Amino acid sequence: MNHTITRSLSFFFALLFLLLTTVAQAATDPLPSWNDGTSKSAITAFVQAVTDKSSADYVQPSERIAVFDNDGTLWSEQPAYFQLYFVIDRVKAMVAEHPEWKTQQPYQAVLEGDMKALAASGKKGLVELVMTTHAGMTTDEFAEIVKKWIQTAQHPTLHKPYTQLVFKPMLELLEYLRANDFKTFIVSGGGIEFMRPWVEGVYGIPPEQVVGSSIVSKFEMRDGKPVLVREAKLNFIDDKEGKPVGINQHIGRRPIFAFGNSDGDLQMMQYTTLGTDKKRFAGIVHHTDGKREFAYDRESHMGRLDKALVDAESNGWTVVDMKKEWKVIYP
Amino acid sequence: MNHTITRSLSFFFALLFLLLTTVAQAATDPLPSWNDGTSKSAITAFVQAVTDKSSADYVQPSERIAVFDNDGTLWSEQPAYFQLYFVIDRVKAMVAEHPEWKTQQPYQAVLEGDMKALAASGKKGLVELVMTTHAGMTTDEFAEIVKKWIQTAQHPTLHKPYTQLVFKPMLELLEYLRANDFKTFIVSGGGIEFMRPWVEGVYGIPPEQVVGSSIVSKFEMRDGKPVLVREAKLNFIDDKEGKPVGINQHIGRRPIFAFGNSDGDLQMMQYTTLGTDKKRFAGIVHHTDGKREFAYDRESHMGRLDKALVDAESNGWTVVDMKKEWKVIYP
């Protein structure tokens, strides 16, 4: 063989080796959308520790409960919670039967897209809008309304279906945990019945593993058919101090893994990780990527950053820098 | 070979064949404690229909939700709900710190075993007893109290641990359903936190698949430890019309299989089976065996039998005659 052929062959085999190594890495990497870094290492180290039978940190499968906030953690939440766009779209769809709304607040504000007037209607206005659009029908009817909306509605500025605005790295994380015998739950301030119709298809999380805010429902027999009628009455707010309460009510075990993105998730992360010497994990999605998603921080804690972010280091919580640590945002 | 040997051998082989057949039957019978009869056939026919992919009645695994009442359905409930004996035992254990109870109703009635005086204290007295014994501690502390009690307490007349007073045929049924990819849930009027500490070990049902009545709990940080404190305030009564509400709240799907024993379960059975042309199953444990368990009927429906029993035939519900259909009652 002459030199040229030898060199070509060497080059060919080097290339082949590189290719095979890359393929092998991709095949074994459970979190391919995560850049190597502190967050990815923290997650995989935790999962390895609690699933290794010879480890002092081993946790039996039945206790591997992982809880995830939804808005801002599994999908985007800007410029407003997506459930608000559902409310707005419902008011627009319902106005034909309620012509009086055209000159009546807070409906007029919604119909005219007047966010200033909507804000002026305050919490009372918002609750009225939620009740008008979420109550008065059966649970089956409401599920159908949500299903149709989520299939057709589009985000107002990104012009994509909301179900495409979920975070690919988090979808991989859910899969990775389930592959390691974790049971994954959503624990969201959003409406439990607003999430259930679509989260199984999108996140692989079944309805019985969704915890959320709710209104009261009531059993009735209608024409021989048993139904649950949704009433314009608050039942439970699954936010802040409510999240550990909702977790206990629905799951009845303390999670060992929690992911959130704001002070709405603070108590859930405390409940999961503090006051024990056992290995626990809490992660925070930090919205640092104004180009690919949205860059923002709240100032909810005495005019400062979210307490969850402020306390992250001292609590040993993992803060995910979206811009640096996620290769892609959306699927 | 002479005749005697030939006959002996024939007899031996006949015996062997009989033995093998019996063994094979036992190995393939998923409900060995159930006598052959209408209930056993109805159960196995239903399970075969909904799990057979070629059947028009096929139900995909994620939708195979089975719900079970607890008191009188999975374990006995006589002479009183077992949770009442927990209340009584707690009052006795706590009286050292509350000497005033000795002359104060409804505590005095409990301490003196005066059931007439206890009944006279009415619903108000009972609620006070439940709150005194179930509230004022953290959820973790309450779980420990229940665990210790269930390990040591004995039934007042049968003198056995309560966990031995569960129905063996129902344990087999739970196993059989799970082997066919059903998810089994308890939906009981009893306290959700009273059941969770022991039902996983006894029924194989994890805490997150328990629906029950509850009091309010509140998140607190105590000495840096996140806890949930149980308050003397009713949260939810999971009985009668409450059962479909509790099912929807916790599971978010309509069950396809329900088992109960009284009108406390009527709406749950209606919710599961009526108003649909799909194949559904509801079963009622009828307490007909005064010798091996207790023989009783309620007269809750206009002075007649439970409506659940009266309507069973027209609704296509399966009534299990314990005396006739169960080979054994307890394990």
ipTM score: 0.91
Inform me whether the C-beta atom of residue B212 falls under 8 Å from chain A C-beta atoms: no
Please indicate whether, in this complex, the C-beta atoms of A225 and B275 are within 8 angstroms of each other: yes
Taking CA atoms, what residue in A is nearest to B220? Answer: A241
Does the structure show a pLDDT above 60 at B122? yes
User: For residue A270, which residues of chain B lie inside 8 Å, CB to CB?
Assistant: 221, 226
Which residue among B241, B248, B250 places its CB closest to the CB of A250? B250
Which residue among B196, B219, B225 places its CB closest to the CB of A241? B219
What sign has the CA pseudo-torsion A96, A101, A103, A106? Answer: negative
The one-letter amino acid code at B38 reads T
User: For residue B229, which residues of chain A lie inside 8 Å, CB to CB?
Assistant: none
Separation in Å, CA of B306 to nearest CA in chain A: 18
Q: How far are the Cα atoms of A131, B188, B308, B319 from residue B261, in angstroms, in the given order?
A: 37, 11, 8, 9
Please indicate whether, in this complex, the C-beta atoms of B219 and A245 are within 8 angstroms of each other: yes
Q: How many CA within 13 A on the CB side of residue B10?
A: 7
Inform me whether the C-beta atom of residue B53 falls under 8 Å from chain A C-beta atoms: no
Which residue among B62, B270, B271 places its CB closest to the CB of A206? B62
Inform me whether the C-beta atom of residue A256 falls under 8 Å from chain B C-beta atoms: no
Which residue among A207, A267, A275 places its CB closest to the CB of B253? A207
Smallest CA-to-CA distance from A111 within A131, A129, A136 is with A129
User: For residue A274, which residues of chain B lie inside 8 Å, CB to CB?
Assistant: 221, 224-226
Give the per-residue pLDDT at A27: 63
User: For residue A253, which residues of chain B lie inside 8 Å, CB to CB?
Assistant: 207-208
Give the per-residue pLDDT at B12: 72
User: pLDDT truncated to tens, each residue of chain A (331 aa)?
Assistant: 566 666 676 777 776 766 666 665 556 899 999 999 999 999 999 999 999 999 999 999 999 999 999 999 999 999 999 999 999 999 999 999 999 999 999 999 999 999 899 999 999 999 999 999 999 999 999 999 999 999 999 999 999 999 999 999 999 999 999 999 999 999 999 999 999 999 999 999 999 999 999 999 999 999 999 999 999 999 999 999 999 999 999 999 999 999 999 999 999 999 999 999 999 999 999 999 999 999 998 776 667 789 999 999 999 999 999 999 999 999 9
Taking CA atoms, what residue in B is nearest to A223? Answer: B275
**Letter string b/e over residues B119-157, b meaning 16 or more CB atoms within 10 A of that residue's CB:** eebeeebeeebbbbbbbeebbeebbebbeebbeebebee
Residue with the bigger pLDDT between A21 and B318: it is: B318
Task: Give the pLDDT confidence of B53-86 residue by residue, as tens digits.
Answer: 999 999 999 999 999 999 999 999 999 999 999 9
Give the per-residue pLDDT at A273: 98
Set out the domains of chain B in order of their start, with CATH numbers: 34-80+162-325 (3.40.50.1000)
Give the per-residue pLDDT at B25: 57
Separation in Å, CA of A234 to nearest CA in chain B: 13
Taking CA atoms, what residue in A is nearest to B216? Answer: A245
Task: Give the pLDDT confidence of B154-173 residue by residue, as tens digits.
Answer: 999 999 999 999 999 999 99
Nearest-angstrom CA–CA distance, B173 and A80: 48
- Band of the pLDDT at B298, cuts 50, 70, 90? confident
Give the per-residue pLDDT at A88: 96
Give the per-residue pLDDT at B202: 98
Inform me whether the C-beta atom of residue A217 falls under 8 Å from chain B C-beta atoms: yes
Which residue among B139, B196, B274 places its CB closest to the CB of A226? B274
Separation in Å, CA of B145 to nearest CA in chain A: 16
User: For residue B219, which residues of chain A lie inside 8 Å, CB to CB?
Assistant: 241-242, 244-245, 267, 271
Percent of chain B residues past pLDDT 90, beyond the cut: 88
Inform me whether the C-beta atom of residue A214 falls under 8 Å from chain B C-beta atoms: yes
DSSP characters over A179-236 = HTTPEEEEEEEEEHHHHHHHHHHHHS--GGGEEEEEEEEEEEEETTEEEEEEEEEEEE
Give the per-residue pLDDT at A331: 95
Separation in Å, CA of A158 to nearest CA in chain B: 31
Inform me whether the C-beta atom of residue B303 falls under 8 Å from chain A C-beta atoms: no
Give the per-residue pLDDT at A297: 87
Please indicate whether, in this complex, the C-beta atoms of B207 and A252 are within 8 angstroms of each other: yes
Does the structure show a pLDDT above 70 at B220? yes
Taking CA atoms, what residue in B is nearest to A224? Answer: B275
DSSP structure class, residue A321? E
Query: Among A222-236, B121-135, B189-203, B302-316, which is the least confidently predicted range?
Result: B302-316
Does the structure show a pLDDT above 70 at B300? no
Please indicate whether, in this complex, the C-beta atoms of B274 and A214 are within 8 angstroms of each other: no
Taking CA atoms, what residue in A is nearest to B201? Answer: A62
Please indicate whether, in this complex, the C-beta atoms of A224 and B251 are within 8 angstroms of each other: no
User: For residue B193, which residues of chain A lie inside 8 Å, CB to CB?
Assistant: 252
Long-range pairs of B195-202 with CB within 8 A, sequence gap ≥ 24: B195/B70, B196/A252, B196/B143, B197/B143, B197/B146, B197/B147, B197/B150, B198/B146, B198/B147, B198/B150, B198/B163, B199/B70, B200/A62, B201/B163, B202/B163, B202/B166
Taking CA atoms, what residue in B is nearest to A218? Answer: B245
Taking CA atoms, what residue in A is nearest to B272? Answer: A226
